Amino acid sequence: MPNGPSSARPALLLPASLACAALLALTGCSGSGGDPSTAPTSLLPLPGPGEEGEGGGKDGADGSGGERPGEGGGKPDGGPLAGTTVLIDPGHNGGNADAPEEINEQVPSGPGEKKACDTVGAESASGYPEHEFTLDLSLLLRDRLEAEGAEVVMTRTDDDGVGPCVNERAEIGNDAEADAAISVHADGGPESGSGFHVIAPGEVEGNADIVVPSARLAGLLRDAYAEGTGMDPADYIAEEGLDERTDLGGLNLSTVPKVFLEAGNMRNPGDAKRLEDGEWRERAADAITGAVVDFLTGAEGDRP
Ligand SMILES: [Zn+2]
């Protein structure tokens, strides 16, 4: 989190922003803690060949220990999300199916727990894979969040790699000190079941600080997604599209507010038709963006 509690108000930070903008070309203006002038930058540096982290993570997990990219992106300051950082985590990866040893490696997934590095993901009956969907939607979401002024960090930006592992996906958001983090998935639920759901972290040892804000993000996302996409909350999940789990490493290991979006059920024909529709995905990205803006600018005063 780049800003202290309740301090992240762009108006208060504007003078620093202007000063920094003038210096940006010389200094990059990074590392000053919550500096909103750090121009939105889409990517962590991709590791070069042979630099993959352990466990097969290939994309984005640069292991640089929390340095955020601070170079200017040529984008002006402004927008409701100026000064914020959002982590987008497109689930799975296109190379996972061909790398069973890497993705089956056991990695930390919570206090005293281990789990497979990653999984292959679901697929629609027509063969549209979840890993492709999650990246398609995530890239639309990235563009929209950057347009609102956020700095966006992605856990991967292509669909032919392996991983990153679930623990690395959490670390990337933690290292970025993201103000909000969203893992994008689509479910492989029962064929007869339809609808989306949002998963918030249940409390495990060490994550107490993120449970309440993550639940707030989950509720905002559930409401915005239902309204914006016209998709109903999942009829095979108990709580009106909201679930809480303690078995997901990506949530258990997060130190920043985080949710998983299961954007629909790929095994359900009606949901799959929507998930496969590029225009529908744009509406979904709009809806998610609205929820993030609400979360990070909400007047309720409990911004994490
Ligand atoms: Zn998934």
Task: Please write the tens of the pLDDT for every residue from 208-264.
Answer: 999 999 999 999 999 999 999 999 999 998 789 999 999 999 999 999 999 999 999
**Averaged pLDDT, 101-122:** 96
CA of 3 to the centre of ligand 1 (A): 31
User: Does position 59 have pLDDT exceeding 80, yes or no?
Assistant: no
Residue 91 lies in a domain: yes
Give the least confident one: 116-120, 121-125, 236-240.
Answer: 236-240
CA of 75 to the centre of ligand 1 (A): 32
**Averaged pLDDT, 85-100:** 98
Q: Which residue has better confidence, 12 or 93? A: 93
- Phi/psi for 259 (5° steps) reads -140, 160
Q: Identify the CATH number of the domain in which residue 110 sits.
A: 3.40.630.40
User: Does position 16 have pLDDT exceeding 70, yes or no?
Assistant: no
Residue 163 lies in a domain: yes
Residue 131 lies in a domain: yes
Q: Which of these, 145, 2, 11, 6, lies nearest to 81 by C-alpha position? A: 145
CA of 87 to the centre of ligand 1 (A): 17
Domain of residue 150 covers: 10-61+68-297
pLDDT at 77 (0 to 100): 63
Residue 28 lies in a domain: yes
| Neighbouring C-beta atoms of residue 192, cutoff 10 Å | 10
What percent of the chain is modeled with pLDDT above 90? 70
pLDDT at 82 (0 to 100): 96
- What's the CA gap between 29 and 218, in Å, rounded? 33
Give the least confident one: 17-26, 30-39, 223-232.
Answer: 30-39
CA of 186 to the centre of ligand 1 (A): 6
Q: Which residue has better confidence, 18 or 291? A: 291
CA atoms within 13 A on the CB side of 1: 18
CA of 185 to the centre of ligand 1 (A): 4
- Active-site residue flag, 262: yes
Q: Residue 34 — left, alpha, or beta (φ > 0 → left; ψ -120 to 50 → alpha)?
A: left
CA of 201 to the centre of ligand 1 (A): 16
- What's the CA gap between 179 and 39, in Å, rounded? 16
CA of 304 to the centre of ligand 1 (A): 26
Residue 4 lies in a domain: no
CA of 92 to the centre of ligand 1 (A): 6
CA of 290 to the centre of ligand 1 (A): 22
pLDDT at 2 (0 to 100): 38
Report the domain count for the chain. 1
CA of 286 to the centre of ligand 1 (A): 21
pLDDT at 127 (0 to 100): 97
Residue 117 — very low, low, confident or very high, per pLDDT cuts 50/70/90?
A: very high
User: Does position 290 have pLDDT exceeding 60, yes or no?
Assistant: yes
* Average pLDDT score, the chain: 81
Residue 160 lies in a domain: yes
Q: Are 171 and 214 a contacting pair, CB within 8 Å?
A: no
**Averaged pLDDT, 184-191:** 97
Q: Which residue has better confidence, 237 or 125? A: 125
User: Does position 46 have pLDDT exceeding 80, yes or no?
Assistant: no
Q: Are 252 and 189 a contacting pair, CB within 8 Å?
A: no
Catalytic option among 105, 148, 262, 276: 262
User: Does position 174 have pLDDT exceeding 70, yes or no?
Assistant: yes
**Averaged pLDDT, 65-84:** 62
DSSP state of 39: -
Q: What is the CA radius of gyration of the chain?
A: 18
**Averaged pLDDT, 127-154:** 98
CA of 1 to the centre of ligand 1 (A): 26
pLDDT at 238 (0 to 100): 76
